[in-house]
Structure 1
Amino acid sequence: MRGSSTRAAAAAALVVALVAALAGPTAPGAHAIVRGQPGSQIYFAASVQDRAGGHFCGGSLIDPSWVLTAKHCLQGRAIETVQLRTGTPHHNSGGTLHVPVLIRHHPSADLALVRLGGTSSGRPVPIAAASPPVGTRTLILGWGSTCVNTWCASAVVHELPTSVLSDGACAADVTTICTDNPYGGGNCVGDDGSPQVQGSTSSWELVGTALRPSFPTCGSAPSTYLDVTAFRGWINSMTGIGS
């Protein structure tokens, strides 16, 4: 029994050390996107909502007037029933509340662009020049469920430090990014369309948008994100960004 206890304690210490080494200065707390921490300074994250203020998807502010999100979030919804909040870590207060004036769906990929009726007070995030290689440290964000096996959401955007896995780890292909689920965490319901970024606080770059997550087993397997760098040409042609 003593030997077993010693081995268990050593294993626990190793896990703690690995978590600290992987997470660095942004080690997650008890909750988050699932199992992360509040992301109080992330002002390019956008909340996609119904007109009553109910958050149902995330997005990324890629220009003062444009938000990138997942196509499945908006298909079948009339533009008159949608609003977006940007420039704040809270989906129900602060920042700028927008009425969209145009929605453009990619013809095949799960990607949509929303033109805002005005400009955002948030700071846009640029799209990375190339797909992140395996091992790249990334950060995922969202206002979705923060629990495993049940629904519990937060009014504050949450973040989780993670990394890029090989495509085979989640049957991804060249237009998707297989994303690790450290600490049993990952994106969940309500995080669809939310950003995956690389870099640091002063120089974030957008690499992915969350595809439809699994529920109620969020965090039990790697997450799959659409690789937005593969669609830079379409995004630029639709928005004029980078021209």
Structure 2
Amino acid sequence: HSYQVNHTQCVIVQLMYQINCGKAPLNTRIVGGQTAPAGSWPWQASLHMSGSHFCGGSLINNQWVLSAAHCFQGATASLLTVYVGRQTQGSSNPNEVSRSVSSVINHPNYNSATNDNDIALLKLSSTVTFTNYIRPVCLAASGSSVHSGEDVWVTGWGTLRSSANDLMEVDVPTVGNRQCNCDYGVGRITNNMICAGLREGGRTPGDSGGPLVIKQGDQWIQLGVVSFGIGCARPELPGVYALVSSYMTWINNQISSNQPGFVNFRSSGTDKSLTTSSCFILYLVFVVHSFLLLRARFEEQQLNQAAFVTNRVFLSV
């Protein structure tokens, strides 16, 4: 009987997280690329080491934060502090609370060379109390579908400008993985990744480990974790994120109680990205173009050298 009671309580708690996660009462955003008003993104976490902000994260229940594995290579949990409810890095934050970190769990299959499985969990030393400024985000459940052209949001203190002390926000479109593979090189983008950003370039204010979110109904759902490509401002290179829905089982296996609210996201768009075969054709065009350019330069050098030799012979005569 006690097992049935405990199991029922767990199910009720999980359902409550599914219903109440991703609510941001102070968020009225329509367009972005600006400073985020206080409380707009109440799950945003600021990760500090030795007193300095170094990565972002997202609050997913009252004691766990989701972030990126590459943030914690060689890091010691005891040296980390997590701030939630924080608005600025440069002055006081009346709505924030801080917690030390009791453990950091990197995904066991994280590959630092390819950035595959770039996801991590941080357990806070104690629970936090939810307010309008501190709330958990929903997570995209396994089986969620996301197509290109969806309007998503990135937040952080990262790279919109070098002196960005205030939390920044911007809305960008998702980019299909097939197109993203064309941009980064075939095979670079795995099924555990999602891409988003303006392919014509432009900086995005994301921190490594920070959230990529989308709104469905009245709930904000985290689709991705900032992995790489953010802030580079290079043309045709969108940001790349760890795909949260790929890790539902792993996350739930690490969090035994008060499991996060996983919500199924259904995309309304279609992926119109180039196929891998198209990428190969584009690659061949690039190779041929590069070869012709190099050959033209070589022939020009040969002509210049021949002219130089002829000129010397003429002068010697």
Q: Distance in 2 between matches of 1:142 and 1:242?
A: 22
Deviation, structure 1 residue 187: 3.5
Evaluate the alpha carbon distance shift between residue 193 and residue 242 of structure 1 in structure 2; reply closer, same or farther with a 3 A threshold. Answer: closer
The one-character-per-residue Cα deviations of 1:68-94 (angstroms, maximum 9, x if unpaired) are 000110110111211110123234634
Deviation, structure 1 residue 102: 1.1
For the pair 1:74 / 2:91, whether they are aligned, the reply is: no
For the pair 1:26 / 2:30, whether they are aligned, the reply is: yes
Selected match of 1:87 from 85, 95, 103:
85
The one-character-per-residue Cα deviations of 1:116-162 (angstroms, maximum 9, x if unpaired) are 11223410001022142222221111110213xxxx13222111111
Unaligned 5+ runs, structure 2: 1-28, 110-116, 182-188, 262-317
Q: Distance in 1 between matches of 2:222 and 2:46?
A: 16
CA RMSD of aligned residues (A): 2.4
Q: Distance in 2 between matches of 1:99 and 1:64?
A: 14
Decide whether the 8 Å contact of 1:178 with 1:222 is kept in 2. Answer: yes
For the pair 1:123 / 2:135, whether they are aligned, the reply is: yes
- The structure that has the greater radius of gyration is 2
For residue 46 of structure 2, what is the amino acid of its counterpart?
A: S
Q: Distance in 2 between matches of 1:191 and 1:201?
A: 26
For residue 112 of structure 1, what is the amino acid of its counterpart?
A: A
2:175 maps to what in 1? 165
Decide whether the 8 Å contact of 1:45 with 1:89 is kept in 2. Answer: no
Evaluate the alpha carbon distance shift between residue 200 and residue 89 of structure 1 in structure 2; reply closer, same or farther with a 3 A threshold. Answer: farther
1:227 maps to what in 2? 243
Evaluate the alpha carbon distance shift between residue 229 and residue 76 of structure 1 in structure 2; reply closer, same or farther with a 3 A threshold. Answer: same
Q: Which has the higher helix share?
A: 2
Aligned residues: 206
Decide whether the 8 Å contact of 1:47 with 1:85 is kept in 2. Answer: yes
For residue 124 of structure 1, what is the amino acid of its counterpart?
A: P
Decide whether the 8 Å contact of 1:63 with 1:124 is kept in 2. Answer: yes
SS of aligned partner of 1:115? strand
- Summarize the alignment of residues 135-154 of structure 1 with structure 2, pairs less than 5 Å apart: 135-147=149-161, 152-154=162-164
Evaluate the alpha carbon distance shift between residue 98 and residue 27 of structure 1 in structure 2; reply closer, same or farther with a 3 A threshold. Answer: same
Structure 1 residue runs of 4+, over 6 Å off? none
Decide whether the 8 Å contact of 1:169 with 1:222 is kept in 2. Answer: no
Unaligned 5+ runs, structure 1: 1-24, 29-35
Q: Distance in 2 between matches of 1:63 and 1:197?
A: 16
For residue 233 of structure 1, what is the amino acid of its counterpart?
A: T
Q: Distance in 2 between matches of 1:162 and 1:114?
A: 27
